[in-house]
Amino acid sequence: MNHLLLRVFLNLYADIFTDDPKNNVSEYIYEKLDKNLHLQTNHPLGILKTVIEEYFSMHFKHKPFTFYDDLTPIVSTQANFDSVLVPPDHVSRSSNDTYYVDDSTVLRCHTSAHQLELLKSGARRFLVTGDVYRRDSIDATHFPVFHQMEGVCVFEPQDWEARQLSSLELANSELKITLEGLVRHLFGEIEMRWVDAYFPFTEPSYELEIFFNGEWLEVLGCGVMQKSILDEASLGSHRAWAFGLGLERLAMILFDIPDIRLFWTTDLRFSKQFKAGMFRAGGVGMQKFSSYSKFPPCYKDVSFWLAKDSTRFTENTLCELVRDVAGNLIEEVKLIDEFYNPKLDQTSNCFRFTYRSMERSLTDDEVNQLQEQVRSRLVDELDVTLR
């Protein structure tokens, strides 16, 4: 369906397709904008969101958190980047990494995009849950749309004075106590460790890791909010902590879900396995996801020379193109060979595409047709020469 028709039929986010040369939102992505998986109470993402909100309601009984879960994912570049101090030359600003609606509007790539506006509106303790969008590679753990939860908690001078701590000490220790409690609420008694990290919006910054199935896994990023963000919200005499976590990642671990695409399936064999209220910390005594048999994959390789004088080809753009053609039928795009031919002064890439449906067997014909479309669009749009 062309953009104009889609616009007429859905008219939901009608301004997503613009003539702006920076616009890189595909129909495939557009169709995800009204799904709101995190609002479905019997969906693993909705279940996990509720469990996390319950923890915050309990932990902050006397100073309640406010929960936001319906803020629009279409935000200004100011909100997505500048308001949280993302440097002007940071890679996340490139249209290779982020979906641009126009030069000054993007699909948010993190829920941190809402920190400043909410602080300005008077919110002091809040969680924001929402869908976030990133151009990315294709495999079992990466999908261009996923869900994040952001938390912010602001302290006033009397909070640290009462405890004879510096503001930084208070924010830092409250942050760690709160998030260690959250991890125990989700995983039960589990080994965890704090690792120093860097985020432009916090100082100090950390990642919290858990020891799970024999390896250390990062579960969230966090830190003490940069003063200049608070200044901007006229909260210069205050202190705050903030964190962000990815819901898919946690749900895959906690419910044993092997492939990130399953969150988007409407197959009853998936959805009937999840019910609000089923969650148990660490999955102990909880029925985890039991995989149903997979349909067979179909592999297709394509080799091509990259153009010497064009920068159009990137792996993310290739993935985006394949997704635009094959939608949910593409499972993985993998670079399997790359070499440079000095005589020709040219580089060759070979990619293997894995096509697979979660719902049915694909026919040879259908896959061949998809692959043909990909091959011709590769030439037309990414300036490569097929080999």
Written as one letter, the residue type at 166 is S
Q: Tell me if 199 contacts ligand DAH by CB under 6 A.
A: yes
Give the distance, in angstroms, between the CA of residue 305 and the centroid of all CA atoms in the same chain.
Answer: 32
Q: Tell me if 110 contacts ligand DAH by CB under 6 A.
A: yes
String of DSSP letters for 287-346: ----PPPPPPPEEEEEEEEPPTT-----HHHHHHHHHHHHGGGEEEEEEEEEEEETTTTE
Exactly one of 24, 77, 83, 112 binds ligand DAH (CB under 6 A); which one? 112
Q: Tell me if 56 contacts ligand DAH by CB under 6 A.
A: no
Residue 83: its H or E element = none
Shortest separation between residue 242's beta carbon and ligand DAH, angstroms: 4
CB 248, CB 146: distance < 8 Å: yes
Q: Tell me if 172 contacts ligand DAH by CB under 6 A.
A: no
- Restricted to residues 339-358, the positions that interact with ligand DAH (CB under 6 A) are none
Q: Tell me if 374 contacts ligand DAH by CB under 6 A.
A: no
Which of the stretches 7-15, 29-37, 116-124, 198-206 binds ligand DAH when contact is defined by CB under 6 A? 198-206
The burial class, CB within 10 Å (0-12 / 13-18 / 19+), for 303 is middle
222/247 with CB nearer ligand DAH: 222
Q: How many residues bind ligand DAH (CB under 6 A)?
A: 12
Shortest separation between residue 230's beta carbon and ligand DAH, angstroms: 13
Q: In the structure encoding, which two tokens stand for residue 225, read together?
A: 């909010």
CB 55, CB 182: distance < 8 Å: yes
33/222 with CB nearer ligand DAH: 222
210/298 with CB nearer ligand DAH: 210
Residue 27: count of CB within 10 angstroms of its CB: 15
Which of the stretches 57-65, 238-246, 274-282, 320-328 binds ligand DAH when contact is defined by CB under 6 A? 238-246
87 cis-preceded (ω within 30 degrees of 0): no
CA distances from 68 to 22, 77, 78 (A): 30, 20, 20
Residues 6+ apart with CB under 8 A from 329: 355, 356, 357, 362, 370
Region at 327 (left for phi over 0; alpha for psi -120 to 50; beta for the rest): left
150/209 with CB nearer ligand DAH: 150
Q: 361-365 long-range contacts, Cβ below 8 Å, gap at least 24?
A: 361/295, 361/296, 362/295, 362/298, 362/329, 364/298
Q: Tell me if 93 contacts ligand DAH by CB under 6 A.
A: no
44/244 with CB nearer ligand DAH: 244
Q: Tell me if 243 contacts ligand DAH by CB under 6 A.
A: yes
Shortest separation between residue 206's beta carbon and ligand DAH, angstroms: 8
Nearest to 321 by CA among 373, 245, 366, 357: 373
Residue nearest to ligand DAH (CB): 244
172/349 with CB nearer ligand DAH: 172
Written as one letter, the residue type at 204 is P
Q: Tell me if 150 contacts ligand DAH by CB under 6 A.
A: yes
Q: Tell me if 133 contacts ligand DAH by CB under 6 A.
A: no
Q: Tell me if 221 contacts ligand DAH by CB under 6 A.
A: yes
194/305 with CB nearer ligand DAH: 194
Q: Tell me if 100 contacts ligand DAH by CB under 6 A.
A: no
The site for ligand DAH (CB under 6 A) is made up of: 110, 112, 150, 199, 201-202, 221-223, 242-244
